Structure 1
Amino acid sequence: MGTPNFAVPILEGLLEAGYDIKAVVTQPDKKVGRKQIVTKTPVKIAAEAHDLKVYQPVKLSGSPELEELMELQADLIVTAAYGQFLPTKFLNSVRIAAVNVHGSLLPKYRGGAPIQYSLLNGDAQTGITIMEMVKKMDAGDMYAQKAIDILPEDTTGSLFDKLSLVGRDLLLETLPKIIDNSIEKVAQDESKVVFSPNISKDQEKISSKLTATQANNLIRALNPDPGAYIEMNGKRLKVWKAEVAEESTNIEPGCLVDNKGRFALSFAGGSVLNLLELQPAGKKAMNVKNFLNGQGSKFVAGERIFD
């Protein structure tokens, strides 16, 4: 059970290891982009390439698909970023265990956006937890964990790619021990629980109240989707890549520091952020050099640009 690219190596890994996949469950096809083209999920595409049976209930709970899935009497359920709650009766219908591949070091970052929050909060590490599924969100006992370092250039996109492979390998290492009951589960420490709810529309806006480091963390966390933006002259300027400048400034937050060879903005605490890849409203993403040849050249140092 999975939906985005994160889950594809996990499905492929299970197949390559010889597991018999009785069914694949993924979210319904969605309309994507300006042209609203109906698009299959990455997991559906992978499943169809292997001629696997695919289910796509809008809501799993109470659906005819759920009844069919329960009738399979599977040994295991494996979920990886599926995107829906699983009913308790479904979790209880399997012979061995319902297992989740979760993109954080639980109990930190239960919820739908664990990778984004590890970047937002400037964490040094993130990782994968293989855990038992229970009715309460991401609260089950843990079978295994593996940590990786977060690099300065990492984005949510790069961490998704890395963690999907870590998740695949850790799952394949752990599943045989779950099956033969040779692994000991560890309960999560409830006093250390941190939640990571899905990113809201309000969180996408870059505010001058942030430090340059916080703004850069937000940009990295929202790349590649949905993207962080500065509201400039009533229009959105998306920022896909930036770097924290070494110098500080006395210019108040929200102003242009420099647009001669770079596009540098002031943030809280006298910090400065160099914007490296930008996307003006209605245009394609561009590097800062191209931006400075057009829209970026119209501003004057010290001018207030955003709130």
Structure 2
Amino acid sequence: MPDSEPLGPLGAGDPTAPQWMPPEIDRTVATPARIYSYLLGGKEHFAVDRAAVEQAAEALPVRDFARVNRAFLTRAVRHLAEAALDQFLDIGVGLPAPGSTAETALSVRHDARIVGVDNDPIVLAHARAHGGEGATVVAGDVRRPGEILQNPEVRARLDFDRPVAVLIVAVMHFVPDEDDPYGAVRALMDAVAPGSVLVLSQVTSDLDPDGIHATAKAYARSSVRTAVRSREQIAAFFDGLEPIDPGPVMLSRWRPDEQVRDGDDRIGMYGGVAVKP
């Protein structure tokens, strides 16, 4: 859609709306899923999402943040699939883009089972219209882990008596402390079998607090709040788990490959992969 598109809720008769998009989708408020789609070169975003990105980009290289985060996700999923893990619960799955959990896992294991969870109506509508590209996509919110764990589609697709990879990648910086982010992660990991794995990444203010603060103000136009944490606070999500080397680190330092670029170690996001004993 052109940048000059009029803002306002998409109506049923709006000729710019794809046929699969329900009329209740609101394009007056930016959302993380659509912002991330734009950052990764996807197609499902509106002018308000692009405006939020461009404002944020004045303070931080947000496109590099998205690229580095997606590369971390891809490396982590590939590592786990190659290690014979075949079940993935991707919370905050977002809109389709290269290097997704489903694309990566299925490229290694054709029998992989993937469930994507998201609270953005456009993600759910896209999945209903086009399929989940190898994943079952359900409605859910990391702040309400019980609803995810009790969802019959999740239970039908994943065997919780066997190890599951729980992916919470670039999500927790949208969960403020008052929503009990550590309790949510703990509830998810308590529910999965020993040998299950947590993959988590989050933005930090350790490297550039001023830039992060300015970016948070830009993202305040979106449908969520932001919560930036230190390395110690992010590492605490992995408490009680056994880290896979090298542990919680800057994303570009977690088992880097040829896709890592010079300067990626200055992108302020920590992440890691850890196993439930």
Name the TM tier (shorter chain): 0.3 to 0.5
Hey, which of these two has a bigger chunk of helix by percent?
Answer: 2
Mark the structure with the bigger radius of gyration: 1
Higher relative contact order (CA closer than 8 Å, sequence separation 6+): 2
TM-score (norm 1): 0.31
